[in-house]
Structure 1
Amino acid sequence: METSQKKKRFSMPSSYTVLFLIILAIAILTWFVPAGEYQVDEAGNILSGSYQVIEQHPQGLWDVFMAPVKGMIGTETTPGAIEVSLFIIVVGGFLGVVNSTGALDTGIAQVVKNYKGKEKLLIPILMFIFALGGTTYGMAEETMAFYALIIPVMVAVGFDTLVAVSVVLLGSGVGVLASTVNPFATGVASQALGISPGEGILWRLIFFVVMYGIATLFVYRYAVKVQNDPTKSLVYKDYEKNQKKFAVSSIKEEMTKKQKVVMVLFGLAFLIMVLGLVPWSTLNENWTFFETMNDWLMGLPIIGTVLGQQMVALGNWYFMEITMLFFLMAIIIGLYYRIPEGEIVSTFMEGARDLLGVALVVALARGIQVVMNEGMITATILHLGEENLSNLSPVLFSILTYIFYIPMSFLIPSTSGLAAATMGIMGPLGSFADVPQHVVITAYQAASGIINLITPTSGVVMGALAIAGIELTTWWKFTAKLIGIIFIVSCIILGFAAVLG
């Protein structure tokens, strides 16, 4: 055996492996952690102070391998992930159909072309577009196609590759960090806690506006500095190489009228989703417009029958309804764009396949709750939290929750997997500290979002840096101050949210 043989580099295990190892570890804990249960009221809410120890329920190998299956289907004690998993798959199909029209790519290209000579304005505009994608549907992997388009333009006008990567990566990243209605973060976490994704949307909107402003100002100031003096660039050593490598060519793409309509339909789908998920009548008892309109439509002799008597009013939607919405919009976009029937099906299936892994990771993560609940240790862990967190102020609890989720995001980079794995515990713990459950969700999103801007376990981060030829350590150096600012501001906003509710 040659002594010069290189040792294999350690590589982080996939989210699937990490989640399965957690299931195994939890199963082992069920042999040693005392089993217990709480009394609940008629509404199913846990009664504080009612915990009692019961007979042990150790989980074996059969239970470990059955956990992901039960996590998908559901049990008496754990809701299944089938609704959210199906929704994720359908959204993937919807995005597949939209991408087949070329509307998204051409739209970005058109924006770049229209602002030729006013390139500094491209930074806030493009970052806002990507942030909208991040906050509405968790735009991340979908951004990879834009780097080849944006990097040459940014380099040609005197910026560097860090600016180009930041526009896309930080733009979409801060959007995901806020995740106002992101179904893969907000949706999964809300479903795990049994609350509407519309709860806490005001605080997530505040997060979106503040984080977008901070990130945009950060990138803009650096871009101006580099444009005025290229030697200030953190990648100046590659200046000449990048000028040759990313020599810009003229952008000739023009968005057709049909593609413009596709973009309108694309935005309309997410607008309807937002209108459907926000509990309007709960926010204000007089906001019953959608319910009144729905009752009126259902009361019409022929139209009501054609629409279907079980149509649900906007504001009362959940995963079944928004899954139907994206399925319907995929069909409408495909038919409008005159995509052949077979191609609509194939592009839908390809898009669904791209997100199949995300759908499965949700079920695997839900298996953690299955093992904890069937091992009867969930109540015991909650009891420990109740005893230790009962004296914490809501502000301190919300900040500690945020800090807790930072290392957890390294272990489970998948936002949906992290939510499904932990919300069943963290949500009730928040209730013990008088912190609204939507604040716990916001803390999780903010922590996961900040880590996914810099983590080497993210294929998006590593892929973007590879395309631009930027070292990871350079990216860390560039974003260090921004990460610190985001951390401090996030703690402040979460503190206010915990107090004001």
Structure 2
Amino acid sequence: AANAAGIPFTQGMLMRVLLLIVGYVLCVFWVMRYARKVRAHPELSVVADKMEENRAHFLGNRANTLLEFTATRKWVLLIFAASFAVMIYGVAVLGWWMAEISGVFLAAAIIVGVITRMGEEAFTSTFIDGARDLLGVALIIGIARGIVVVMDNGMITHTILHSAESLVSGLSTTIFINVTYWLEVLLSFLVPSSSGLAVLTMPIMAPLADFAHVQRDLVVTAYQSASGIVNLVTPTSAVVMGGLAIARVPYVRYLKWVAPLLLILTLLNMAALSIGAMM
């Protein structure tokens, strides 16, 4: 984003680091506050009605037993960790992406099946059960990104961006940066790729910031903070939807739980951007 805006990436770093620290503290407080509340009153959990169902799913008939940490289980954990190490090396050094990453985890699953002496039928059933939990996620992400493709090919995204360009022209510094923030929030839903969003918006918004007498690094900060907020809830995120599916938390319930935190973080971002615009 900084490169697309024509500035060094270190410019505006202090504000972004401060936002990171404050936002991290707020998120930790929010999660720990919820954890303490649920520990004291389990019925207040967002999935309280699914507690027995989830207990049976995750623990089966071993809910009240402490599993022995056998040599076989140690090998399974080692292979699990090694698969991530191989994935990181492949992506960073060899240029791997989804096809290669999928192959790594498929190979790791087969090796685990051999080490644990699972039969073919048991391995296949277990593999399908695991994939079943994420099938709905794959459909949601596919449909959501299909909408994005339609909007891009139909030039709808570019039309929205052009209209926004006309909207922010001539605004005061404080209003300009906050309108830019909300524009980035909107476009983050339409353009799931963070780098793609930066390339799409920065060449337009950065020059407009010059006319509004706003530092370009503030526009970059507005983009980053908006993208970060949206990535907590967007249904096109495999991290969000996959995590919720694995944890068996319905998406709507997650939205209700995280909404107050999103409001707090949004107000924090807008306040920081407004202060930066006035300096």
TM-score (norm 1): 0.37
Unpaired runs of at least 5, structure 1 = 1-188, 255-333, 335-342, 357-367, 369-380
**Aligned residue in 2 for 1:181:** none
Tell me, what secondary structure is at the counterpart of 2:96?
Answer: helix
Higher helix share: 2
Q: Alpha-carbon deviation of 1:415?
A: 0.5
Rounded Cα–Cα distance in structure 2 between residues aligned with 1:470 and 1:351: 35
Aligned ranges 1:228-377 → 2 under 5 Å:
228-247=40-59, 347=90, 352-354=95-97
Q: What amino acid is aligned across from residue 428 of structure 1 in structure 2? A: P
**Aligned residue in 2 for 1:453:** 232
Alignment equivalent of 2:266, drawn from 479, 487, 499: 487
> Deviations along 1:36-93, whole A, 9 cap, x unmatched?
xxxxxxxxxxxxxxxxxxxxxxxxxxxxxxxxxxxxxxxxxxxxxxxxxxxxxxxxxx
Tell me, what secondary structure is at the counterpart of 2:95?
Answer: helix
* Cα distance change on mapping 1:211 and 1:249 into 2, 3 Å: farther
Rounded Cα–Cα distance in structure 1 between residues aligned with 2:94 and 2:29: 34
Rounded Cα–Cα distance in structure 1 between residues aligned with 2:92 and 2:12: 34
Alignment equivalent of 2:169, drawn from 389, 392, 413: 389
Unpaired runs of at least 5, structure 2 = 60-65, 76-84, 100-151, 153-161
Rounded Cα–Cα distance in structure 2 between residues aligned with 1:485 and 1:427: 27
- Larger-gyration structure (1/2): 1
Rounded Cα–Cα distance in structure 1 between residues aligned with 2:34 and 2:13: 31
* Cα distance change on mapping 1:348 and 1:394 into 2, 3 Å: closer
> Deviations along 1:307-348, whole A, 9 cap, x unmatched?
xxxxxxxxxxxxxxxxxxxxxxxxxxx9xxxxxxxx99x936
Rounded Cα–Cα distance in structure 2 between residues aligned with 1:488 and 1:396: 14
**Aligned residue in 2 for 1:209:** 21
> Deviations along 1:384-442, whole A, 9 cap, x unmatched?
75x9633x221111111001111101100111110011100001111111111110011
Q: Alpha-carbon deviation of 1:210?
A: 1.1
Aligned ranges 1:101-120 → 2 under 5 Å:
none
Alignment equivalent of 1:412, drawn from 191, 197, 201: 191
Rounded Cα–Cα distance in structure 2 between residues aligned with 1:205 and 1:192: 20
Stretches of 4+ aligned residues off by more than 4 angstroms: 248-254, 348-351
TM-score (norm 2): 0.64
Q: Structure 1 residue 422 and structure 2 residue 201: aligned?
A: yes
Contact 2:91-2:97 at 8 Å conserved across structures: no
Rounded Cα–Cα distance in structure 1 between residues aligned with 2:37 and 2:97: 39
Q: Alpha-carbon deviation of 1:487?
A: 1.1
Q: What amino acid is aligned across from residue 219 of structure 2 in structure 1? A: V
Identity between Structure 1 and Structure 2 (%)? 37
**Aligned residue in 2 for 1:221:** 33
> Deviations along 1:231-252, whole A, 9 cap, x unmatched?
0101001112222333385778
**Aligned residue in 2 for 1:433:** 212
Q: Alpha-carbon deviation of 1:223?
A: 0.4
Aligned ranges 1:80-91 → 2 under 5 Å:
none
Rounded Cα–Cα distance in structure 1 between residues aligned with 2:98 and 2:18: 29
User: What RMSD in Å do the two structures reach over aligned CA positions?
Assistant: 3.1
**Aligned residue in 2 for 1:64:** none
Rounded Cα–Cα distance in structure 2 between residues aligned with 1:237 and 1:216: 25
* Cα distance change on mapping 1:388 and 1:479 into 2, 3 Å: closer
> Deviations along 1:449-493, whole A, 9 cap, x unmatched?
111101111111111111111111011111111111111111101
**Aligned residue in 1 for 2:146:** none
* Cα distance change on mapping 1:193 and 1:212 into 2, 3 Å: same
> Deviations along 1:357-385, whole A, 9 cap, x unmatched?
xxxxxxxxxxx9xxxxxxxxxxxx79x75
* Cα distance change on mapping 1:421 and 1:227 into 2, 3 Å: same
**Aligned residue in 2 for 1:496:** 275
